[in-house]
Chain A
Amino acid sequence: MIELILPAVASCIVAFFVVFLMTPPLIKFLEKRNLTVKDVNKKEDVMVARPGGLSIITGIIASEIVLYAFLQLNEILAIIITTSAAFVIGYVDDRKVMGGWFKPVALAIAATPIIALGAYNSDLAFPLFGTVQIPVLYLALIVFMIPITGNTINSIDVLNGVASGFMVIASFSLSICLFIVQNYEIAIASLPLGFVSLAFYKYHKIPSKIFPGDSGALTFGAMYGTIAIVGGIEVIAAIALLPAIINSFLFLSSVKKITEHRQIKNPTSLTSELKIKSTDDVSAPITLVRLIVASKALSEKQVGFVIFKLAIFSGILAIITAFMMGVSL
């Protein structure tokens, strides 16, 4: 445990400062090339640089390479390869609008390095009741999990700072859970995700100077999913991600098909005071944000804080669940 402190500190410093220092020049670069999009929740035509995925993936790769130099684990290689593949998939979608099928299918393929490197344990652990062995079914779980976590984080990236702020809370909750279940090496490998998210949040928080784009959101989600698999805490990871899962569940249960968010009607609109309110269009999908503002219009910042409170609540549930892993009925 003591020998892991140096790699942990080194990788966290690299993760934070690579993103913290790289993002401002990336913003200038994107603005210079006119790679900006309109911030839809602002009164004026505020243009924001996009995508910021490049600084996120650079921070993740650099910090995980530092860790690999110390630990030489296949699990770290799986994190690097799968997360990098997710970034490329997101970047393609940022530059060229792809169909609704593209990301789920491509992310399923991105999950295969986890299988190829054997960086998983096919016993699925549940709190209180123990484990169940599902050697064949677990392979399907791996292939499904990365598209689910990737698209789930992507779907919550709707307001300034929400995706990165949510990832800060969810990924640090995941790291705490990994320490509780005494999977120390993967716990340390998970820390860079929290520090990268924290550094990016500095520029993504309201008012955003940069958006992560699909490349950033898929990178966050894919790394989170990969850590859940290689750390053997799939159920705990799902619990920490519940607010984002609710968002996807509400969206799918109202739209009833896999589609791109840009292809559906906006579930919210702006009041004259620039507060977000639920749309009057009955055919628009129900989303987490629409539910939050259903009873009363709220500012973008207020909605973001409600989502962060929900993330903290599910993070606490995940930590309780991690403690329950050591208890057997």
Chain B
Amino acid sequence: MKFGLFGFLFVMWILILVGGGITVMILGPFSISGFGELDRFIGSIIKAIVAIILVVIWILILSKLKNLIFRKEIKS
């Protein structure tokens, strides 16, 4: 049980590191062309949408993990 909580913390830490990598390596340098003056605007919207999707995926992974680790303990 207690090991489960430490494991949960560790996985959260790994997810933060991976999320940082995706943000800096892929999302940061991403740019779009072909829309003239709207390039930066559309590019920012796409970045924001991808960032929100990443956060949702992060929360879903944690929710699944929580159920996986604590299924026996949580009687709800």
A163 within 8 A of B: no
Residues of B within 8 A of A291 (CB): 1, 5, 70, 73-74
Contact A246–B8 (Cβ < 8 Å): yes
Contact B9 A132 (CB under 8 A): no
Chain B interface, DSSP helix/strand/loop, else mixed: helix
B6 within 8 A of A: yes
Q: Is the CB of B1 within 8 A of A129?
A: no
Bound state CA distance, A290 and B66, in angstroms? Answer: 13
Tell me which residues from 271 to 323 in chain A have a Cβ below 8 Å from any Cβ of chain B. 278, 280, 282-284, 286, 288, 290-292, 294-295, 306, 309-310, 313-314, 317, 321
Interface size on A, residues (CB 8 A): 42
- Chain B contacts for A314, CB-based, 8 A: 9, 13
Enumerate chain A residues within 8 angstroms of B2, measured Cβ to Cβ. Answer: 292, 306, 309
**Is A253 in contact with B63, judged by CB distance below 8 angstroms?**
yes
The reply to whether the CB of A72 lies closer than 8 angstroms to some CB of chain B is no
Among B5, B28, B48, point to the contact of A310 (Cβ < 8 A). Answer: B5
A88 at the interface (CB under 8 A from B): no
Q: Tell me whether A17 is interfacial, beta carbon within 8 Å.
A: no
Which of A129, A254, A294, A324 is the one whose CB lies under 8 Å from B25? Answer: A129
Residues of B within 8 A of A310 (CB): 5-6, 9
- A56 vs B45: C-alpha distance in the bound complex, in angstroms? 42
Q: For the complex, is B46 an interface residue (Cβ under 8 Å from A)?
A: no
Give the residues in chain B near A254, CB-CB below 8 Å.
Answer: 76
Instruction: Judge if A24 is at the interface, Cβ distance under 8 Å.
Output: no
B24 within 8 A of A: yes
Chain A residues with CB below 8 A from B76, complex form: 254, 282-284, 286
> Does any Cβ of B come within 8 Å of A238's Cβ?
yes
Interface string of A59-75 (1 = CB under 8 A from B): 00000000000000000
Interface residues on B, range: 20 to 34
Q: Quick one: closest B residue to A136, CB to CB? A: B44
Q: Which residues of B contact A243 (CB under 8 A)?
A: 9
B66: contacting residue among A130, A245, A250, A292, CB under 8 A: A250
Question: Contact: B6 with A313, CB < 8 Å?
Answer: yes
B65 CB to nearest A CB, Å: 11
Do residues B73 and A133 form an inter-chain contact, with CB atoms below 8 A? no
**CB-contacts of B17-39 with A (<8 A):** 17, 20-21, 23-25, 27-28
Which residues, 49 to 76 on B, are CB-close (under 8 Å) to A? 59, 62-63, 66, 70, 72-76
Is A9 an interface residue when CB atoms closer than 8 A count as contact? no
Q: Is the CB of B20 within 8 A of A128?
A: yes
**Shortest beta-carbon distance, A286 to chain B, in Å?**
6
Residue in B16, B21, B59, B74 whose CB lies within 8 Å of A239: B16
Cβ contacts under 8 Å, B66 to chain A: 250, 253
Contacts of A253 in B (CB 8 A): 59, 63, 66
Q: 10 A-B residue contacts at CB 8 Å?
A: A128-B17, A129-B23, A132-B27, A235-B20, A249-B59, A249-B62, A282-B75, A292-B5, A310-B9, A317-B9
CB within 8 Å of B: which residues of A? 124, 126-133, 136-137, 235, 238-239, 242-243, 245-246, 249-250, 253-254, 278, 280, 282-284, 286, 288, 290-292, 294-295, 306, 309-310, 313-314, 317, 321, 324
Q: Given A130-B24, A294-B73, 10 other A-B contacts at CB below 8 A? A: A126-B23, A137-B48, A246-B5, A286-B70, A286-B76, A295-B73, A306-B2, A309-B2, A314-B9, A321-B13
B: residues with CB less than 8 A from A are: 1-2, 5-6, 8-10, 12-13, 16-17, 20-21, 23-25, 27-28, 44, 48, 59, 62-63, 66, 70, 72-76
